[in-house]
Amino acid sequence: MVLPHRLLPYRLLLLRRLTLTCAVTAPAIAWQVVRAADPPAACAAPQPGQYLVVARGSRAGVPVGRLNLETWQADGSVRGRRFLRVGRSYSASSYEGRWSSLGGCGATVSRGEAGPSSQLLLNQAGRPRVGLTMAADTVVSERWIHQPDTACTATTLEGTVLSDQQGFNAKDADWVANAVIQREVWSNWGMAGLALSSYGGKAEVAAYQGRFTQEEGCLGRIRQQDAKGVTYAYVAILRSDGQGYAYLQTQGDGLTVALLNREGQS
């Protein structure tokens, strides 16, 4: 429909007024939104306790996987066990160190000659949740999980466990990434499951069985064998709240570190 010429100036004037109104009110609305946002809640001071640390990344281009079981004391002292893969090399050691607050929601852990320090972010309750390993040529992130003061027994972990993990396989002088998803059922420290793997886009499906052997507290070893007869060995730490476990592959040309969660848990 063609508008009469006498209506065009009115329509243009109305359009200009609407444009000016939007230009004036938009910053005001945005400012109101910013002012309405609540400031971040303060975190409690860092809390003593025992923590499971699951770390992965790389050092000078070589894949790194690490588990720590670390206890923080109220006086700032730290005692821990470290299990480390750097490429094909595996080591385990005990260490001592210190933790301290960085103010706000931050904390740091120094471990002396036993290993690099970590810088951490806390949740509101003061528990460390995520961290970064601070060392030259190292890019490693950390997931921290509080371990309640509960004994690990044969019934600590029961039922279905799910995982979504990434790892590496050595190929000549290179490391090739892989991805694995698993579903397994635990009962009395035994497990049976199904793994779906992707190696450079090549899919594999394998059933497997295995068993956790307790060494001390929540720490132990897992040995698994798949339907093709291939065996896998891991150092493992159960979550004392029964919500899953973490493991680190200790043998062969594969390197996987993972946190596995009981079904229905994040």
Helix (H, G, I), strand (E, B) or coil at 217: coil
- 206 near 215, Cβ under 8 Å? no
The answer on 258 and 236 residing in a single domain is: yes
Same domain, 75 and 111: yes
Q: Please, which residues have CB within 8 angstroms of residue 54's CB and are 6 or more apart in sequence?
A: 66, 67, 142, 143, 145, 246, 257, 258, 259
**Six token digits for residue 21:** 């109104």
What DSSP state is assigned to residue 158?
-
Closest CA to 157 of 250, 66, 247, 49: 247
Question: Rounded to whole angstroms, how far apart are CA atoms 165 and 168?
Answer: 10
**Is residue 213 classed as helix, strand or coil in its secondary structure?**
strand
| Phi (first) and psi of residue 22, to 5 degrees | -65, -40
Asked if the structure places residue 154 within a domain, the reply is no
Q: Which residues have CB under 8 Å from 172's CB, separation 6+?
A: none
**pLDDT of the chain along its 266 residues, tens only?**
444 444 444 443 344 444 444 444 443 334 343 344 555 678 999 999 999 999 999 999 899 999 999 999 999 999 999 999 999 999 999 999 999 999 889 999 999 887 899 999 999 999 999 999 999 999 999 999 999 999 999 999 999 999 999 999 998 888 999 999 999 999 999 999 999 999 877 899 999 999 999 999 999 999 999 999 999 999 999 999 999 999 999 998 999 999 999 997 54
Co-location of 215 and 133 in the same domain: no
Q: How many structural domains compose the chain? A: 3
Backbone angles phi, psi at 202, to 5 degrees: -90, 120
Inside any domain, residue 166: yes
Claim to verify: residue 25 and residue 66 sit in the same structural domain: no
Q: Which two tokens stand for residue 13?
A: 């004037």
Same domain, 127 and 101: yes
65 domain residue, yes or no: yes
Domain span at residue 29 reads 5-35
Query: Do 195 and 141 fall into the same domain?
Result: no
